Structure 1
Amino acid sequence: MNKILIITHTADNFSIEKVTEYIEKNDCQVIRFDVDLYPLQNKLSTTFQNGEWVSILETPEAHYRLDDISAIWYRRAYNIGSGLKEELDAKFYGAAMGEIRNTLFGFIESVDTYSLGKPGIYRRLDSKEEQLKVADKLGLTIPDTCITNNPDVAKKFILQHRNVVAKMQTGFAITEDGVESVVFTNVVSEDKLEELDTLLYCPMQFQKMIEKKKELRITIVGRDVYAFEIDSQQFEDAKVDWRKDGVNLLDKWVRTELPGDIEEKLLELLDIYNVDYGAIDMIVSPENEYYFIEINAAGEFFWLDNLTEGNLISKSIADVLCDKAPRRNNMVMA
């Protein structure tokens, strides 16, 4: 029986169970590695002896051999080393976490099998600038964009375009008094130009604001394309960034079809990055022009999956992992 390793964490959502269900229907075994239990509860060991590499995962429930797995789904790596800070002297904690991360990510990168996502792939796709440049070369339309930490350059861009949004390039969040606040996309008005002086300390991405007829979230798994649309302009809190009102919009998305040339270019985008999963955000203007905004290497999909009959996105993920559907070969060793 083929073994599929899912790398996630204990607080992940129910999409893991849905994908697991379909993997088991494909007569494959699921091994779940919750990284927040590593290293205090989960133990990972790799040994080379007598010309053979052997990797073992020990969990509180069982021992698993990992060097003969048939595929990996690198889903999430949140809260690695949870609880370790309370166990170690503070002077050792930072160094220990460095070794923990290096060991875990080194294992994931080096496993000689198919992987749906890898730390290195995620790091590359973190570059919004590269995404936009690749999309532009493919012929996708992108908004006028400025990425800078120079306040004067930003001010000039804003004055030139008038209607501009500012966004962070990462999952930027500010924690104060134990409360985490995510920084969403916001409109930058001309009367706020003086506040841009703080760009000196942290760069931002600015884009010409695109008037929205509808917004799209497109989840691609292998060659399967699941496109959904929403009229975000009907909801006050969602007009600039639909994520601000994301919970209330969960059931408002509608399945849609993409123009053939747009779908073809998005599939080519995944070909270039050699990935089999991507969650893509696009805007459709009142003139029906499609603007590429970004691709998320591990973007969430569970709420859209619930809007398909039979959780089809989860099924596509399972089929790719079980080699039951076309996939891009990303094995790293000969």
Structure 2
Amino acid sequence: MIIIISQAEGEHSTVFVMDWLHYRQASYRRINGSDAIQHFSYHISNTGESELHASGEYLQDITDTPNVIWYRRWMGRNVALRDSMRLGGDDNFINVFNFIRHERSTLRQHFISQVKPIHRLGNPDKDALNKLDVLTAAGKAGLTVPRSIVTADREVLQNFCNTTGPVIVKSLKDPAMLSYQGDNFVSYTAVLNNEDIASLPSNFFPSLVQERVEKAFEIRIFYLDGQCYAMAIFSQSNTQTQVDFRKYDKKHPNRNVPYTLPPEIISSLHTLMQSLDLNCGSIDMIKSPEGKYYFLEINPVGQFGMVSFPCNYFLEEKIADWLIEKDHP
């Protein structure tokens, strides 16, 4: 039996993989994060033994030992966001949101600890990586990373900029997505110039600043159990996407083409993913005009459709076949 742990909202890539599983007549079951909360109970005895029970027969397979689990995604943060808005009201919104988020996180961790598959795709303990740890690990794996600093001191920041030249600022964790008075806002990587630095107070919230690496193009790579499927993104031809290609220009989209990475880069990426105990994930890199490769970051649960469809990689089929192979070794 193949078990897919996903989320209900906006997870189209999960559906495409399931289409291939259905076509291959595979035995599989999808469980969304909300299902695990609503239809499972957790029993702990006087002696501390914990058991996982499914309240519906259609979820019963998870309580046995599945051959393979694909840890796609647990649950969208919008679920906790809506719950907190409904329960907390405007005055207590932040407190209620954080409370619900931590409650769900605790339940998720226990759920995962009770399920012991023989094989897994994805690592539920690594679905939110520490960017600083990953940059350090990437350097040890033989990859070049941008010179970086995390500081809350304006003078330290200015000295760093004087040494490195142009810099960018980005979030330490996932980009923020906020709604205010009917408008939606997303944090992007941005250029930090001298005027910006001069306007800062002497001390500010700790921020991640990196040297601005000149780009010939950006590279998005989907890593699947030792194989790298890379796509070149010509983001520099559009001023809107030059700093962060996620500022999509839907009227004039970037040109995306399949790309072959050098063997030594593939080897280093494989070493990095092994050191992080990951067998899949989306990797961002840059190729400079001089031909040098820079590693940026990894999203362990990143979307792979954006690489699969433009490049005709058929990653959805490849993932389905990987799951079937592990289900029937």
Instruction: State the TM-score, normalized to the length of structure 1.
Output: 0.83
In the alignment, the residues of structure 2 paired with residue 206 and residue 54 of structure 1 have an alpha-carbon distance, to the nearest angstrom, of 44
Structure 2 residue 47 is matched with structure 1 residue 45: no
Residue 19 of structure 1 aligns with an amino acid whose one-letter code is: V
Residue 240 of structure 1 deviates from its aligned partner by 0.8
- Determine the structure 1 residue equivalent to 2:236: 233
Could you tell me which amino acid in structure 2 is paired with residue 261 of structure 1? E
Shift of 1:314: 1.3
Going from structure 1 to structure 2, the CA distance change for 1:246 and 1:220 (only over 3 Å counts) comes to farther
Note if 1:121 corresponds to 2:119: no
Map of 1:330 onto structure 2: none
Distance 1:142 1:88, change over 3 A: closer
1:101-127 deviation per Cα after TM superposition (whole angstroms, max 9, x unaligned): 31233112331113323442123x2x1
Contact 1:281-1:295 at 8 Å conserved across structures: yes
**Contact kept in structure 1, 2:84 and 2:100, CA below 8 Å:** no
**Structure-2 separation of matches of 1:55 and 1:247:** 46
Q: Counterpart in 1 of 2:323?
A: 321
Q: What is the SS of the residue equivalent to 2:199?
A: helix
Q: Percent identity?
A: 27
Whether the 8 Å CA contact 2:240–2:249 is kept in 1: the answer is: no
Runs of 4+ in 1 over 6 A off after TM superposition: 89-92
2:281–2:301 contact (8 Å) kept in structure 1? yes
How many residue pairs get aligned? The number is 315
Please give the alpha-carbon distance, in whole angstroms, between the structure 2 residues aligned to 1:249 and 1:314: 27
TM-score (norm 2): 0.84
Aligned in 2, Cα 1:106/1:273: closer, same or farther, shift over 3 Å? same
Tell me which of 140, 145, 151 is aligned to 1:142.
145
The runs of 5 or more residues in structure 1 that have no matched partner are: 328-334
1:65 is the counterpart of 2:52 = no
For residues 6 and 263 of structure 1, the distance between their equivalents in structure 2, rounded to whole angstroms, comes to 28
Q: Which amino acid aligns with 2:245?
A: W
Q: Deviations over 1:53-91 (max 9, x none)?
A: 4531649xx443312222222222213457644775779
- Does the aligned pair in 1 maintain the 2:167–2:212 contact within 8 Å? yes
Cα deviation digits, residues 169-202 of structure 1 (max 9, x gap): 22232432243311111111112212332862x2
Supply the RMSD in Å over aligned alpha carbons.
Answer: 3.0
Distance 1:270-1:108 versus aligned 2 partners, 3 A rule: same
Partner of residue 273, structure 2: 270
Counterpart in 1 of 2:194?
190
Q: 5+ unaligned residues in a row in structure 2: which ranges?
A: none
Name the CA shift for 1:247/1:304 in 2 (closer, same or farther; >3 Å).
farther
Deviation for aligned residue 1:269? 1.0
Per-residue displacement from partner, 1:143-184 (whole Å, max 9, x unpaired)? Answer: 111112222211211122221111112223243224331111
Write out aligned runs for 1:77-96 (5 A): 77-78=75-76, 79-81=78-80, 84-85=83-84
